[in-house]
């Protein structure tokens, strides 16, 4: 008798586990689908809210963009906005543009995105604005487009202060390799240009190599590896997108060259902070991703209400070193993965 009873308990338990795991799979599948389809399936949610905005990042699961999303979501909650976060899983301009077009076709009330390249993004942004959907550029501007406003770092200035910091910390003498997120994205170009201008009068500073990481830490590491093999004289690196310095630091440690190699990067993601604390990364350029997201949503609400907004808002940027830690407030660098 007691055996039969146990059998039933095991049967019931297995069925319950099956139902839970099936529901979880369906839920996850729905989430992935929803992220990729701006507008679709969101209509009912959007109806409950005053406005429906879409934030389209360069790369969905990039921690830097998760911080922008966190800020945007906080502002959306305060203002009763329905916010969608949809973008390419891995940086890809064609997919990025396709998602923008889909968002526009589903007649949302506002779109926030980067103006990564004037050539590709300006026509799309203009097309969206002509459909009476306002666009706010965020992180990277497309200044000649019809976007209403830009909110984000002054990327040229940010590159310039990185160059000055390196020159100061290396006492005017260094063989530098630059690893940039992308040769074509204008924020990356400006960060490289600003840096070059900042060191051009320094006779002892030589830029030996400039390579591209496609904003991935793996490719940043690969490029750093090849550079150190080919140019052993390199004793300073500058990484211009959020994951570059992390990839560089990994390789510098592999080569046991932490003592003689200076690294300056961008952003304050948790891994960057850890390398700063350890001393492998020496300095990094702070951006305010949370603030960008937060203020972009607030600004979009103002635009929809017919209020005037400034055409450019530059969020704060500065160079920090180990002695400047911990950073406060923490919302610009504490990524929430739930
Ligand atoms: C840039 C973003 C870029 C990210 C990539 C940041 O520094 O501001 O434009 O998408 O790095 O990791």
Mean pLDDT of 60-81: 96
Q: Looking at residue 231, what is its pLDDT?
A: 97
- Report how far ligand 1's centroid is from the alpha carbon of 88 (Å): 14
* Both structure tokens of 132: 């009476």
Mean pLDDT of 96-107: 96
Ligand 1, closest atom to CA 243? 12
Q: Looking at residue 39, what is its pLDDT?
A: 55
Q: How far apart are CA 293 and CA 334, in angstroms?
A: 14
Q: Looking at residue 145, what is its pLDDT?
A: 98
Q: How far apart are CA 133 and CA 286, in angstroms?
A: 31
pLDDT at 204 over 80: yes
Mean pLDDT of 312-317: 97
Confidence of residue 223 (pLDDT cuts 50, 70, 90): very high
- Report how far ligand 1's centroid is from the alpha carbon of 319 (Å): 16
Q: Looking at residue 334, what is its pLDDT?
A: 80
Q: Looking at residue 32, what is its pLDDT?
A: 45
- Report how far ligand 1's centroid is from the alpha carbon of 305 (Å): 30
Higher pLDDT, 324 or 35: 324
Measured from the CB, is residue 139 less than 6 Å from ligand 1?
yes
Confidence of residue 50 (pLDDT cuts 50, 70, 90): confident
Q: How far apart are CA 87 and CA 66, in angstroms?
A: 12
| Of the candidate ranges 48-57, 194-203, 239-248, the one whose mean pLDDT is the lowest | 48-57
Cis-peptide into 305, omega within 30 deg: no
Q: Looking at residue 1, what is its pLDDT?
A: 46
80: region left, alpha or beta (phi > 0 left; psi from -120 to 50 alpha): left
* Residue 101 to residues 87, 133, 177, 246, Cα–Cα distance (Å): 12, 11, 37, 33
The 3-state DSSP class for residue 271 equals: helix
pLDDT at 41 over 70: no
**Can you list the positions of beta strands (E) in the chain?**
51-56, 81-85, 110-113, 135-138, 149-152, 174-180, 205-212, 236-239, 262-266, 283-286, 312-314, 318-321
Same fold, 51-153+289-315 and 155-286: yes
Measured from the CB, is residue 86 less than 6 Å from ligand 1?
no
Measured from the CB, is residue 140 less than 6 Å from ligand 1?
yes
Confidence of residue 115 (pLDDT cuts 50, 70, 90): very high
Measured from the CB, is residue 70 less than 6 Å from ligand 1?
no
pLDDT at 34 over 50: no
* Residue 234 to residues 47, 151, 204, 217, 262, Cα–Cα distance (Å): 57, 35, 13, 19, 9
Q: Looking at residue 305, what is its pLDDT?
A: 96
pLDDT at 26 over 60: no
Helix count (H) and strand count (E) of the chain? Answer: 11, 12
Percent of the chain with pLDDT over 70: 86
- Report how far ligand 1's centroid is from the alpha carbon of 242 (Å): 5
CB 265 within 8 A of CB 281: yes
Ligand 1, closest atom to CA 267? 7
Measured from the CB, is residue 109 less than 6 Å from ligand 1?
no
pLDDT at 25 over 60: no
Q: Looking at residue 330, what is its pLDDT?
A: 78
Measured from the CB, is residue 247 less than 6 Å from ligand 1?
no
pTM strictly above 0.85: yes
CB 111 within 8 A of CB 132: no
Q: Which CATH class is domain 155-286?
A: alpha beta
Ligand 1, closest atom to CA 58? 10
Measured from the CB, is residue 220 less than 6 Å from ligand 1?
no
* Nearest CA among 262, 266, 237, 246 for reference residue 179: 237
Q: How far apart are CA 6 and CA 180, in angstroms?
A: 62
The 3-state DSSP class for residue 308 equals: coil
Question: Which residues are CB-contacts of 74 (< 8 A; sequence separation ≥ 6)?
Answer: 290, 293, 294
Higher pLDDT, 305 or 34: 305
Please give the CATH topology (third level) of the domain spanning 51-153+289-315.
Rossmann fold (3.40.50)
Measured from the CB, is residue 67 less than 6 Å from ligand 1?
no
Mutate to test the pocket of ligand 1, among 61, 62, 153 (most ligand atoms within 8 A of CB): 62
pLDDT at 256 over 90: yes
Measured from the CB, is residue 181 less than 6 Å from ligand 1?
yes
Q: Looking at residue 261, what is its pLDDT?
A: 98
Structural domain boundaries in the chain: 51-153+289-315, 155-286
> What is the SS3 assignment for 141-172?
CCCCCCCCEEEECCHHHHHHHHHHHHHHHCCC
Mutate to test the pocket of ligand 1, among 242, 247, 265 (most ligand atoms within 8 A of CB): 242
Higher pLDDT, 110 or 32: 110
- Report how far ligand 1's centroid is from the alpha carbon of 22 (Å): 36
Measured from the CB, is residue 288 less than 6 Å from ligand 1?
no
Q: Looking at residue 232, what is its pLDDT?
A: 96
Mean pLDDT of 134-160: 98
Strands 312-314 and 283-286, by their bridges, are unpaired
Angle of the 244-254 helix axis to the 270-278 helix axis, nearest 10: 40
């Amino acid at each position: 008798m007691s055996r039969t009873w146990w059998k039933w308990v095991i049967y019931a338990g297995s069925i319950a586990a099956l139902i839970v795991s099936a529901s979880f799979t369906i839920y996850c599948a729905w989430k992935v689908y929803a992220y990729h389809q701006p507008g679709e399936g969101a209509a009912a949610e959007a109806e409950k809210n005053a406005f429906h905005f879409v934030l389209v990042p360069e790369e969905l699961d990039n921690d830097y963009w998760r911080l922008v999303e966190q800020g945007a979501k906080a502002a959306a909650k305060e203002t009763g906005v329905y916010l969608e976060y949809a973008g390419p899983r891995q940086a890809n301009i064609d997919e990025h543009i396709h998602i923008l077009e889909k968002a526009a076709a589903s007649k949302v009330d506002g779109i926030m995105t980067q103006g990564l390249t004037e050539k590709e993004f300006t026509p799309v942004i203009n097309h969206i604005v002509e459909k009476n959907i306002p666009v706010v550029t965020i992180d990277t501007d497309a200044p000649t487009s019809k976007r209403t406003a830009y909110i984000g770092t002054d990327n040229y200035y940010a590159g310039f202060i990185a160059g000055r910091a390196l020159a100061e910390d290396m006492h005017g003498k260094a063989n530098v390799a630059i690893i940039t997120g992308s040769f074509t994205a204008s924020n990356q170009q400006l960060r490289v240009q600003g840096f070059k201008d900042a060191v051009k009068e320094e006779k002892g500073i030589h830029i030996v190599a400039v390579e591209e990481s496609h904003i991935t830490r793996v490719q940043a590491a690969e490029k750093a590896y090849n550079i150190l093999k080919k140019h052993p004289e390199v004793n300073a690196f500058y990484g211009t997108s959020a994951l570059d310095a992390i990839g560089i630091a990994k390789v510098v440690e592999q080569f046991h060259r932490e003592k003689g190699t200076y690294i300056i990067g961008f952003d304050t993601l948790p891994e960057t902070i850890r390398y700063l604390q350890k001393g492998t990364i020496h300095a990094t350029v702070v951006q305010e991703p949370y603030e960008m997201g937060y203020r972009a949503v607030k600004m979009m609400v103002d635009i929809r209400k017919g209020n005037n907004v400034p055409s450019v808002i530059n969020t704060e940027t500065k160079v920090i070193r180990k002695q400047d830690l911990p950073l406060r407030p923490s919302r610009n660098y504490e990524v929430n993965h739930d």
